[in-house]
C-alpha cells in the first residue's frame, strides 16, 4: 500500500517553527499591551450554537460558516467571530460584575469564504472590548490599545493610520443632505463603497437608491471627500450635527493627549458594514493602502440585548493576524526563528552518560534549556550537533572531569573553556 498524499485544506495554514515564531511575537505583543491597559484575557468554545450568529448577523451569515448538525441533533458552527460569544458569556454574568468590564481574547476563527490576499478561511484575531461605559473616553481607549499593539511590533505612524468616523454623525449628515429616513441604510451601503466605485457610479446610486437630488448627491460626495472642516462649514450649525462633532473632537483630543494623534484621521467614508455598530467606528490601514484593513471596530451598544443580556454600552475591535503578518513581512519586522539552547551536554563516552543526564536535569530544574545527543557519539560529532542546536555552551562530561567533581564548559562562540564544579550546576 502507498501512503495517501494528504494536502492542507484550502485557506488553512501550517505553523512550522519559523512561522510560529512570528505568530508568537504577535500574540506576545497583543497580550503585553492589553495587560498594560488593564484588560483581562478570556476565551470561549470554538463551537457555538448556529443561532448565536444568525441572531446577530441574519440568515445570510450561514453561507459563510462552517456549520453542521452535531450528533446530538444541534445546529452548530465553528465560531466566525468572537463578539457574539462575548455577549453570550456576559449575558449570563454581567449584572454582578463591576463596570466597566475590560476583556480581551485571541481566538482562532473560521469562515467558509473565498481565499484571497489577506483573507483565509481561518485566522487568529485580537478582540478587545470595554463593556459598561458609554462615554467617548472608552471609544478612544479601545483605539489606543489597538494602535499601541501595532506600535509594540515596530510599526510607526509612517506605516499605519486609523481612519475614524461616527455612524450617528453620518446619519445626521445624510438627513441634512435630504436622504429620507427609510433610505438611510441604502445610503450607508453606498458610502461604504464610495472608494471602490467611480464618482459617477456613486452619484447615480445616491440619486436612484438614496433619493437625493443631483445637487444633494454632489454636495454629499464633496463633503465626504473634503473631510471634517467642509462638514463644519456646511452643516456644523445643525442641532443633530453639532453635538456629534463635539463628541468626535473630544475623541480625537483624547487620542492626541495619549500621544497618538499622528495616527488618526477623521473620515466619514468609514462606515463598517456590520449593522450592529451604533456610534464611533474605525479601521486601521497601512499607509500605502496596499492591504486590506488590519483592524476594525467601534461602538455596539445593543448587541448584549440581542442575546438576552442586560442593556449595556460596549465598544471594541477585532485585529486579524493574516494582514498584519503581511505588513510586518513587508516592513522587515519578522523575527528570525533561530534554534537556540543554553547548554549542550557532551558525555565523552557511554560510561559518562548517566552523569551527563544528571547534569542536564539539574540545569533544567533551574530553568535552563538543555539538550544532548540521544545516542552514543564521538565528542566531535556531539560538538557539531551543539552548533546546529544553537547552544551557547557545551558541557563536556569526561572521566577526568568527574574525578575532579566538575565538568568542562566550552563557550561555543569564542572557544574558551573553564571547569565548573558539579555543585554549582546543582
pLDDT in tens, 95-123: 889 999 999 999 999 999 888 888 999 99
The CATH number of residue 149's host domain is 3.30.930.10
Q: pLDDT tens for residues 351-371?
A: 999 999 999 999 999 999 999
Q: Which residues contact 360 (CB under 8 A, 6 or more apart)?
A: 343, 345, 370, 371, 372
Question: Pick from 292, 310, 330: which residue ends a domain?
Answer: 330
Q: Given the DSSP bridges, would you call strands 341-347 and 391-397 parallel, antiparallel or unpaired?
A: parallel
Q: pLDDT tens for residues 233-257?
A: 888 888 888 889 999 999 999 999 9
- Confirm whether 5 is domain-assigned: no
**Residue 120 CA: distances (Å) to CA of 27, 117, 125, 320:** 18, 8, 12, 10
Burial 169-205 (b: 16+ CB within 10 A, else e): bbbbbbbbbbbeeebbebbbebbeebeeeeeeebbeb
- Confirm whether 98 is domain-assigned: yes
**Residue 90 CA: distances (Å) to CA of 202, 289, 313, 400:** 41, 36, 12, 66
- What pLDDT band is residue 405 in, cutting at 50, 70 and 90? very high
- The sign of the dihedral angle between the CA atoms of 11, 16, 20, 21 is negative
Scanning the structure block, which residue is given the C-alpha cell 436622504? Answer: 179
Residues 94 and 124 in one domain: yes
Q: Is the pLDDT of residue 274 over 70?
A: no
Cα-only R_g, the chain: 29
Question: Pick from 330, 359, 374: which residue ends a domain?
Answer: 330
- Confirm whether 404 is domain-assigned: yes
- Confirm whether 250 is domain-assigned: yes
So what's the pLDDT on residue 234? 81
CB pairs under 8 A, 24+ apart, for 377-386? 379/346, 379/348, 382/344, 382/346, 383/346, 383/410, 383/412, 385/344, 386/344, 386/346, 386/412
Distance CA 126, CA 409 (A): 44
Residues 215 and 289 in one domain: yes
* Nearest residue to 346 via CA among 378, 311, 387: 378
User: Which residue range forms the structural domain that includes residue 351?
Assistant: 341-425
φ/ψ of residue 311, rounded to 5: -70, 100
What mean pLDDT do residues 143-169 have? 97
The CATH number of residue 369's host domain is 3.40.50.800
Q: pLDDT tens for residues 204-238?
A: 999 999 999 888 899 889 888 887 888 888 888 88
Distance CA 129, CA 297 (A): 9
So what's the pLDDT on residue 380? 96
Distance CA 285, CA 160 (A): 6
Q: pLDDT tens for residues 17-36?
A: 989 999 999 999 999 999 99
* Nearest residue to 406 via CA among 359, 373, 374, 370: 359
Residues 167 and 287 in one domain: yes
**Residue 296 CA: distances (Å) to CA of 85, 227, 293, 335:** 18, 20, 7, 25
Q: Is the pLDDT of residue 2 over 70?
A: no
Residues 314 and 355 in one domain: no
Residues 277 and 373 in one domain: no
Q: pLDDT tens for residues 177-197?
A: 889 989 998 999 999 998 889
Residues 142 and 253 in one domain: yes
Q: Is the pLDDT of residue 3 over 70?
A: no
**Residue 404 CA: distances (Å) to CA of 93, 106, 347, 379, 410:** 64, 52, 15, 20, 17
31 burial level (CB within 10 Å; 0-12, 13-18, 19+): middle
Cα separation of the two ends of the chain:
52
- Confirm whether 94 is domain-assigned: yes
Residues 316 and 383 in one domain: no
230 burial level (CB within 10 Å; 0-12, 13-18, 19+): middle
CA geometry: angle 288, 128, 243, nearest 5 deg? 80
Mean pLDDT of the chain: 93
Residues 312 and 209 in one domain: yes
- The sign of the dihedral angle between the CA atoms of 305, 310, 316, 320 is negative
Q: Is the pLDDT of residue 314 over 60?
A: yes
Residues 362 and 310 in one domain: no
Cα 271–chain centre separation: 20
Within 152-241, where are the H helices? 167-177, 184-192, 199-208, 214-226, 228-235
- Confirm whether 7 is domain-assigned: no
Residues 297 and 379 in one domain: no
- Confirm whether 9 is domain-assigned: no
Neighbour order of strands in the sheet with 406-411: 370-372, 341-347, 391-397, 406-411, 417-421
So what's the pLDDT on residue 395? 98
Residues 160 and 133 in one domain: yes
* Nearest residue to 46 via CA among 71, 15, 76, 24: 76
Residues 374 and 313 in one domain: no
| Total tally of structural domains belonging to the chain | 2
Question: Pick from 268, 299, 330: which residue ends a domain?
Answer: 330
Q: Is the pLDDT of residue 308 over 70?
A: no
Amino acid at each position: 500500500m502507498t501512503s495517501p498524499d494528504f494536502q492542507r485544506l484550502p485557506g488553512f495554514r501550517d505553523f512550522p517553527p519559523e512561522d510560529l515564531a512570528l505568530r508568537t511575537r504577535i500574540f506576545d505583543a497583543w497580550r503585553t499591551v492589553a495587560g498594560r491597559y488593564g484588560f483581562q484575557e478570556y476565551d470561549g468554545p470554538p463551537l457555538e450554537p448556529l443561532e448565536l450568529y444568525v441572531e446577530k448577523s441574519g440568515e445570510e451569515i450561514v453561507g459563510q460558516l462552517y456549520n453542521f448538525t452535531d450528533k446530538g441533533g444541534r445546529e452548530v458552527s465553528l465560531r466566525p467571530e468572537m463578539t457574539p460569544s462575548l455577549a453570550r458569556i456576559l449575558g449570563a454574568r454581567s449584572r454582578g460584575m463591576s463596570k466597566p468590564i475590560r476583556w480581551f481574547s485571541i481566538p482562532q476563527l473560521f469562515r467558509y469564504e473565498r481565499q484571497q490576499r489577506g483573507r483565509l478561511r481561518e485566522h487568529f484575531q485580537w478582540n478587545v472590548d470595554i463593556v459598561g461605559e458609554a462615554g467617548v473616553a472608552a471609544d478612544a481607549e479601545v483605539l489606543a490599545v489597538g494602535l499601541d499593539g501595532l506600535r509594540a511590533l515596530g510599526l510607526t505612524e509612517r506605516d499605519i493610520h486609523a481612519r475614524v468616523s461616527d455612524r450617528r454623525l453620518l446619519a445626521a449628515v445624510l438627513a441634512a443632505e435630504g436622504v429620507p429616513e427609510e433610505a438611510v441604510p441604502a445610503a450607508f451601503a453606498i458610502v461604504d463603497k464610495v472608494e471602490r466605485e467611480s464618482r459617477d457610479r456613486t452619484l447615480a446610486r445616491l440619486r436612484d437608491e438614496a433619493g437625493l437630488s443631483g445637487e444633494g448627491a454632489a454636495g454629499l460626495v464633496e463633503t465626504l471627500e473634503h473631510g471634517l472642516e467642509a462638514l463644519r462649514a456646511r452643516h456644523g450649525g445643525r442641532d443633530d450635527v453639532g453635538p456629534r462633532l463635539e463628541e468626535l473632537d473630544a475623541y480625537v483630543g483624547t487620542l492626541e493627549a495619549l500621544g497618538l494623534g499622528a495616527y488618526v484621521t477623521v473620515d466619514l467614508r468609514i462606515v463598517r458594514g456590520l449593522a450592529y455598530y451604533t456610534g464611533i467606528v474605525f479601521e486601521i490601514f497601512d499607509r500605502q493602502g496596499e492591504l486590506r484593513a488590519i483592524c476594525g471596530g467601534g461602538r455596539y451598544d445593543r448587541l448584549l440585548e440581542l442575546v438576552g443580556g442586560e442593556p449595556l454600552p460596549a465598544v471594541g475591535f477585532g485585529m486579524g493576524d493574516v494582514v498584519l503578518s503581511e505588513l510586518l513581512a513587508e516592513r522587515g519586522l519578522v523575527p528570525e526563528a533561530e534554534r537556540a539552547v543554553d547548554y549542550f551536554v557532551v558525555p565523552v563516552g557511554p560510561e559518562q552518560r548517566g552523569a551527563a543526564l544528571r547534569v542536564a536535569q539539574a540545569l533544567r530544574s533551574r530553568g535552563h534549556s538543555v539538550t544532548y545527543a540521544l545516542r552514543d557519539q564521538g565528542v566531535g560529532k556531539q560538538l557539531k550537533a551543539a552548533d546546529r542546536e544553537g547552544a551557547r555552551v557545551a558541557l563536556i562530561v569526561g572521566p577526568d572531569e568527574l574525578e575532579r567533581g566538575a565538568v568542562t564548559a566550552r563557550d561555543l562562540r569564542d572557544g574558551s573553556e573553564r571547569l565548573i564544579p558539579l555543585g554549582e550546576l546543582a
